Amino acid sequence: MLNRFSQLNEEIQLRQTQVSTGKEITQSSDKPIEAVKLSAMEERVTQLSGFQRNVATAQERLTMADTTLENVDNIMTQMRERVIAANNDTFSEPDLDAIRVEVSELRDALVGLANTRTPDGQALFGGYNTDLQPFREGTDGHVNYLGDGGQHTLAASESMRLPTSVNGGEVFMQISTDAGSQSLFDIVDSFIAALSTAASHEDTLVATEREGMFLRINADRTPRDLSFVLSGPEGSVSITAPDVVDGSHSGVAEAINARTFETGITASVSEGLLKLTSTTGEISLSDLAVEGVDLAAKEPAFTITTGGDPVVTMVPKAQTLSAQLSKIVDAGQDIAISRTTVGARLQRAEIQEEVLASRSVTLESQVNEMSAADLEKVITELQSLLMTQNAARQAYSQIGQTTLFDYLK
């Protein structure tokens, strides 16, 4: 009888637990095989929840990256407008200074955007180095990238990892230009430098007197190839002189004299200067290009100056305002491509979000189907067990009140 009471109490407690929790299996010993299957399915539910959190994080970071690059793109549009305006011949030196000040502010804004951080304080464009400031200005004013080439990703399924941004080194430090890969900040600094020197430097030297033209080549001690367009009474040609260094005029004179029959211009070295003469006095130098000089500098290292009074300074094409437009346009195009990449990754994350949501609904339905108790059935069983327990108690009570004399009657 006591064993029966104990068994009834256990069954009643089980049904009461099932009613309160709504679960069929309250402990693994109830149904061991089903419990193992249910545990595995619940682990998959937990895993899917982790994937969903990762996708949400990726979407948050990618959305922030898209917004940041949109702001960068807007700044580059303003840069393009400013470089077009600066190429207006009617602009005075104060006008160019005003543009330079504005562009300098925009440049600082670009550095700030490149150092954007997520709400949890991680650098958005630093690769794996998310704790440091990825873009930092050195003592020379040059912006350096201190991040790495890593691609931050998060697991979005058992076999998929989603990129959560784009690498800052690729976006900001590898702009494709005609001169090769260049930094966005170097391109902007080149524009600022060109604005600083535009009023005091020329991109063409012209002589019309029969006395000719006296020139000095100013450079460093690194041999570089030099080229320019030389025009005279007989025509125009492109002159290339190899391994030119500061003050080395003889090599340039030889290159010019090798094409005299095409230009009508002869060259010689006189009193440390390069002297050019023509039969009519007509001489023009333009489109100066120097090996390794692809960006403008605040203090151009390579120039050609006239020996007369006033001194006129000719700078390489890379130093001119007109040369800045193509680089600014290239930078804007590369930023737009980076935005497209971010947009594609964001779309991929949204698709994966839908896939995970569908999987989660299906799996949770299966878990509920396996674990949920049939409350109507359980309550009916509980009521039956309670009635049985009550009847057993009454019977036990009557038996307990019966004495030996009752049996002897």
Here the CATH number for the domain that contains residue 272 is 2.60.40
Based on the fold, state whether residues 54 and 190 are members of the same structural domain: yes
Is residue 32, in this structure, part of any structural domain at all?
Answer: no
Give pLDDT, residue 151: 87
Is residue 277, in this structure, part of any structural domain at all?
Answer: yes
Based on the fold, state whether residues 177 and 206 are members of the same structural domain: no
- Mutual angle of helices 93-114 and 184-197, in 10-degree steps: 170
Whether 99 contacts 85, CB under 8 Å = yes
Tokens 């149904």 belong to which residue? 31
What three-state secondary structure class fits 306?
A: strand
Rounded Cα–Cα distance for residues 56 and 39 (Å): 26
Whether residue 55 is predicted with pLDDT greater than 70 in this model: the reply is yes
Based on the fold, state whether residues 214 and 292 are members of the same structural domain: yes
Tokens 């600066």 belong to which residue? 86
* pLDDT tens profile 157-195: 889 999 999 999 999 999 999 989 999 999 999 999 999
Contacts of 240 (CB under 8 A, 6+ apart): 225, 226, 227, 255
Greatest alpha-carbon pair distance for the chain in Å reads: 160
Based on the fold, state whether residues 99 and 222 are members of the same structural domain: no
Give pLDDT, residue 375: 47
Q: Which residue has the higher pLDDT, 402 or 359?
A: 359
Based on the fold, state whether residues 190 and 329 are members of the same structural domain: yes
Give pLDDT, residue 212: 84
H helix or E strand, kind and range, residue 374: none
In which band, very low, low, confident or very high, does the pLDDT at 276 lie, cut at 50, 70 and 90?
very high
Give pLDDT, residue 208: 76
Based on the fold, state whether residues 224 and 105 are members of the same structural domain: no
Based on the fold, state whether residues 330 and 301 are members of the same structural domain: no
Whether 157 contacts 144, CB under 8 Å = no
H helix or E strand, kind and range, residue 118: none
Based on the fold, state whether residues 183 and 56 are members of the same structural domain: yes
CA 346 distance to own-chain centroid = 14
User: What is the count of structural domains for the chain?
Assistant: 3
Mean pLDDT: which of 8-22, 39-53, 249-263, 305-319 is highest? 249-263
Q: Which candidate, 116, 119, 150, places its Cα nearest to that of 133?
A: 116
Whether 314 contacts 205, CB under 8 Å = yes
Give pLDDT, residue 288: 96
Is residue 186, in this structure, part of any structural domain at all?
Answer: yes
Q: What number of helices (H) and strands (E) belong to the chain?
A: 10, 15
Based on the fold, state whether residues 305 and 213 are members of the same structural domain: yes
**Mean pLDDT value across the chain:** 85
Whether residue 373 is predicted with pLDDT greater than 50 in this model: the reply is no
> For the chain, how far is it from start to end, CA to CA, in angstroms?
25
Whether 246 contacts 305, CB under 8 Å = no
Give pLDDT, residue 173: 96
| CATH number for 59 | 1.20.1330.10
Domain with 7, as residue range(s), is 2-22+373-408
Tokens 């100066």 belong to which residue? 288
Q: Which residue has the higher pLDDT, 262 or 41?
A: 262
- In the sheet that holds 204-207, the strands lie side by side as 204-207, 283-290, 224-232, 235-244
What three-state secondary structure class fits 154?
A: strand
Rounded Cα–Cα distance for residues 5 and 391 (Å): 11
* pLDDT tens profile 69-112: 999 999 999 999 999 999 988 888 899 999 999 999 999 999 99
- Mutual angle of helices 32-86 and 93-114, in 10-degree steps: 170
Is residue 364, in this structure, part of any structural domain at all?
Answer: no
Instruction: For the beta carbon of residue 45, count every other beta carbon within 10 angstroms.
Output: 15
Give 125-128's long-range contacts (Cβ < 8 A, gap of 24+): 125/65, 125/165, 125/166, 125/167, 125/168, 125/171, 125/172, 126/168, 127/151, 127/152, 127/167, 127/168, 127/169, 128/152
Based on the fold, state whether residues 6 and 117 are members of the same structural domain: no
Based on the fold, state whether residues 68 and 136 are members of the same structural domain: yes
Instruction: For the beta carbon of residue 135, count every other beta carbon within 10 angstroms.
Output: 25
Based on the fold, state whether residues 337 and 192 are members of the same structural domain: yes
Rounded Cα–Cα distance for residues 170 and 180 (Å): 14
